[in-house]
Every structure is written in structure tokens, then in C-alpha cells.
Amino acid sequence: MSENNGRAMLEIRDLRAEVEGKEILKGIDLTVTQGETHALMGPNGSGKSTLSNIIMGRPGYVLTGGDVIFKGEKITGLTTDDRAKRGLFLALQYPTEVPGVSVVNFLRTAYQAVKGEQMSALAFRKHMKEQMDRLGIEDAMVQRYVNQGFSGGEKKRNEVLQLAVLQPEIAILDETDSGLDIDSLKLVAGGVAELVGPELGVLLITHYQRILNYIAADRVHVMMQGRIVRSGGPELASELEEKGYEGIREELGLEDAPNAAKPVGAPE
């Protein structure tokens, strides 16, 4: 099924993928429904970011098997922008700078591209300001160039503002908590928690349980060596915190994966 009481569904079926000739995803099955929050947890190199980039069609990530289905449509043949137009969103682990383009102009252009409709500067400013007030974001931030000179926390808050403004049906948040101190984490996670609701499904990708102190997950999945090896309720995150990934690996009889691939475009 691709609809659940009229709610959008993202279905990942036996997904396999490689990066630079190395197999990373080895058969992923996962369904995220609009209104649900799923946490995907796993150690470095387990394939979490590869999964997010395959879902959004990022160049350099090669699908070798399986399907990604959104609202009943196979989307693996679509460009990244067409996937966004259909209601998908990816918050990047490593947001890039866009010199010379202000946040407000970037957001207005993105909104019009994704929604396929023109909006006056005044009407867009009103829509954006409502979301800024909701997230506690100051005017000064949206006048700056996209991510230029931003702290790690500001970059991630800017991603959350994009999420709020674009209003997708399913959002993939790729390690939104990475590199954040505790104060920044509270701000960023609080922003995401504010947006979670019946109109938004979230796939939250993370290493750590800490962000789940602020964002309640309906389901938690553990990913290792290119596969989802455990799924459960919120209590699974607490079990992970207690046992660590090594404990889960030993419990399941998995071997170490020492040659895990670095995500394409990730810093050394």
C-alpha cells in the first residue's frame, strides 16, 4: 500500500546501492508514513547517509537494486528536484555555502520551484516570517548569504527553516545533530519537534540517542553494514545507549566492517 488513511507514504523496498564501485546498501526495507517519526541509528560507515542520498537521487550514489516508492509512484528515475516537487525533503549533513545569495532569496526561489507557483515578495515574506517566529529565528539570519560564515548550529537551524518554509510531506534529516554543542542541539531539535505533526513524516538519521531526548520517535531502526538489523519502539534507543553498537553487533553475531566507505563529498 502507498497510502494510509490519505497520508503520504515513503516505501523503501530491498534497496541496494554502491558508491565508487563499493556496495554500501545491501537490501533495505523501510516504510515512513506522513505523521510518523522514525529514527535510523547506526555507527559510522553503516550506510545511513548513502540511504538518504539514494532516496533523493544525489549524483554519485548508484542504485543497483530495489525500489523507492513515494505516494505510490516509483521515483528512482526522477531527478532530485522532481522528488522535492512531489513532497520529499533532505536536510544535509554537511550544508554548503551559497555566496552572494541571501537566505530569504534562496528560500523564495526554492519555494516557488518546489510548489510550482509564483508568490509575491510580500506574501512570501509573510509566510516565511510566520515560520521564523515559530522557530525563534531572527531577521538578521535570513539577510545573510546562505551558510556563509554560519556556525554549525546556524547552518542546521537554517536547514530546519527550509523544512518549515517548504512544508514537505516527508523529510529526511541526515545527522542534523552532528557537530552541535548541547545548547545548539536544544535549539535545532526544538525546531524540528515544533514542526513534527500529522502533516509531516520524518526519517531522522543519527548516531546518538541524545537528539531523541527532544524529538519523540515512533519507531527506531538500527542500521549496520548496509542493513537494518533491529527495529522497535522508542525503548530501542535507550537499549542502544546502554549496550552501544558493539553490544548489538555481538548480540547479533555480526563481524566488524573496517573498510566502510566515507560518504561522497564528506570532509576528510
Q: What is the pTM of this model?
A: 0.90
Q: Are 108 and 124 in contact (CB under 8 A)?
A: yes
Report how far residue 57's alpha carbon sits from residue 31's, in angstroms, rounded to the nearest whole number: 18
Asked if the model's pLDDT at residue 110 lies above 90, the reply is: yes
pLDDT given at position 179: 82
pLDDT given at position 157: 93
pLDDT given at position 268: 32
What is the rounded average pLDDT of the residues 69-81? 95
Count how many Cα atoms sit within 13 Å of the Cα of residue 153 in the half-sphere of its side chain: 13
Q: Are 104 and 128 in contact (CB under 8 A)?
A: yes
Q: Which domains does the chain have, with CATH numbers?
A: 3-94+168-252 (3.40.50.300)
Report how far residue 139's alpha carbon sits from residue 148's, in angstroms, rounded to the nearest whole number: 16
Asked if the model's pLDDT at residue 146 lies above 60, the reply is: yes
Strand partners, 13: 67
Report how far residue 240's alpha carbon sits from residue 264's, in angstroms, rounded to the nearest whole number: 27
pLDDT given at position 6: 83
Q: Predicted confidence band at 257 (pLDDT cuts at 50, 70, 90)?
A: low
The overall average pLDDT reported for the chain is 90
Q: Predicted confidence band at 31 (pLDDT cuts at 50, 70, 90)?
A: very high
Q: Predicted confidence band at 231 (pLDDT cuts at 50, 70, 90)?
A: very high
Task: State what percent of residues in the chain have pLDDT above 70.
Answer: 93
Asked if the model's pLDDT at residue 258 lies above 80, the reply is: no
pLDDT given at position 117: 83
pLDDT given at position 253: 84
Q: Predicted confidence band at 130 (pLDDT cuts at 50, 70, 90)?
A: very high
pLDDT given at position 4: 65
| SS3 label, residue 9 | strand
- Of 10-19, 184-193, 243-252, the poorest mean pLDDT is in 243-252
